[in-house]
Every structure is written in structure tokens, then in C-alpha cells.
Chain A
């Protein structure tokens, strides 16, 4: 088992280059080649790690990021609070998706000739959305800190 993370702390901006080896298949034959490219990152905390690419190879490199995976093309280490916030964000979105699924289910019940069940499920959806709104407010307060 390999964990593709090894981060080092610090604070500086820098540019770096790294070399990839790619294997390609063209018209039935396979070949590989290497290329390198240089780039720099312009955000907050630098670290070094090796990680697995979609192409199935690994490499080491350093960069700095804001600790937010969406802003960074490689995975990062995060504080427990960042992880909890990310989990909360996921749950709020997840609950919203479930609320929509339940509303769709209610419509199916209505079409099936079950108006009382429709009303009850829609009432449950409303309650569910109220709870999720409360979670959303908590998430917003966490993001402000």
C-alpha cells in the first residue's frame, strides 16, 4: 500500500520543472517518451510530494497552494478543521441531492394515485430542507473563520 503524500511546510514562491514519461498507443503500436516542462505556483504554502497520475505513473514535485484541493491540481495535506469543513460541505450538497430525490419520489407517488403519501413526503422534504439550511448556516460560519 502506498500513500502518495509527503508534504513539507514552509513559505516561499518558486518555479520548478519535472519530467514525465508517457506511454501512448497509436494505430496499434505502443511507445513511450519523456518530456519536461516548467511552471510556477503563486499561492500560499509550499510542499513536496509524489503522487499518482491518471496515466499510471508517479513523480515528485513541489508547489505551493492554499490548502484547497479545488485550487490545486495535486492533492494536499489539510488540517482537521479543513477536513471537517470539507465533509460538512459535502454533506450539505449530498442532503440537497437526497431532498431532490425524495421530491421526485413524491411526484411518482402522486402519479401512482397516492395524494396523501405525496403530501406527507413533500412535508418531509420541507423538514429535511430546513435541517439542511441549518447545516448550511453552520458551514457558512465555519468558512468565515
Chain B
């Protein structure tokens, strides 16, 4: 319900992929992230963890 921040690999400011995230979809080995303004970012990898109370998600990028 709340907006989240998505990080790549580690939760640190330099790893922020997108803020105000409204939707995350995992498809065909990719994680597709959408923000409040309907912008999308696509990362090849997997969803590692989602911490919904704290509003952050970590995506593991494929090597």
C-alpha cells in the first residue's frame, strides 16, 4: 500500500534504483519496477527481499 524505494544488491544510498515505487513485476528473468509517475526501470535479476513495513525492496542483479 505504501510507496517503496528499490535498491540494487545492497541497501545504501548509492544503490537506489527508484523511489516512490508503486509496482514491481518479475518476468522472464527481469524485475520491472514502476514509480508513481509511471516511469519504468528494468533490471535483469531477481527480487531478493521486500521489506514492506519499512518501504524498501532489494533486487539482486544477475552477474
User: Which residue of A is nearest B40, CB measured?
Assistant: A4
Q: Are B42 and A76 in contact (CB under 8 A)?
A: no
Q: Are B37 and A2 in contact (CB under 8 A)?
A: no
Total A-B residue pairs with C-beta atoms closer than 8 Å? 45
* B63 at the A interface (CB under 8 A): no
* B41 at the A interface (CB under 8 A): yes
Size of interface on B: residues with Cβ below 8 Å to A: 19
Size of interface on A: residues with Cβ below 8 Å to B: 19
Q: Are B42 and A52 in contact (CB under 8 A)?
A: yes
Smallest CB separation, A87 vs chain B (Å) = 6
Q: Are A56 and B37 in contact (CB under 8 A)?
A: no
Q: Are B42 and A86 in contact (CB under 8 A)?
A: no
* B3 at the A interface (CB under 8 A): yes
CA distance A76 to B35 in the complex (A): 11
Name the prevailing secondary structure of the B interface residues. Answer: strand
Smallest CB separation, B35 vs chain A (Å) = 9
Contacts of B32 in A (CB 8 A): 52
* A43 at the B interface (CB under 8 A): no
Please report A residues at the B interface, Cβ cutoff 8 Å: 1-5, 51-52, 56, 69, 75-76, 78, 82-83, 86-87, 90, 94, 97
Having A3-B40, A52-B40, one finds 6 other A-B pairs with CB under 8 Å, namely: A1-B8, A1-B44, A1-B61, A4-B40, A75-B40, A94-B2
Please report B residues at the A interface, Cβ cutoff 8 Å: 1-3, 8, 17, 20, 27-28, 32, 36-44, 61
Q: Which 6 A-B pairs have the closest CB atoms?
A: A75-B38, A69-B38, A2-B42, A4-B40, A1-B43, A75-B39
Q: List 27 A-B contacts (CB under 8 A).
A: A1-B8, A1-B17, A1-B44, A3-B41, A4-B40, A4-B42, A5-B39, A51-B40, A52-B32, A52-B40, A52-B42, A69-B37, A69-B38, A75-B37, A75-B39, A76-B38, A78-B37, A83-B37, A86-B36, A86-B37, A87-B20, A87-B36, A90-B3, A90-B36, A94-B1, A94-B2, A97-B1
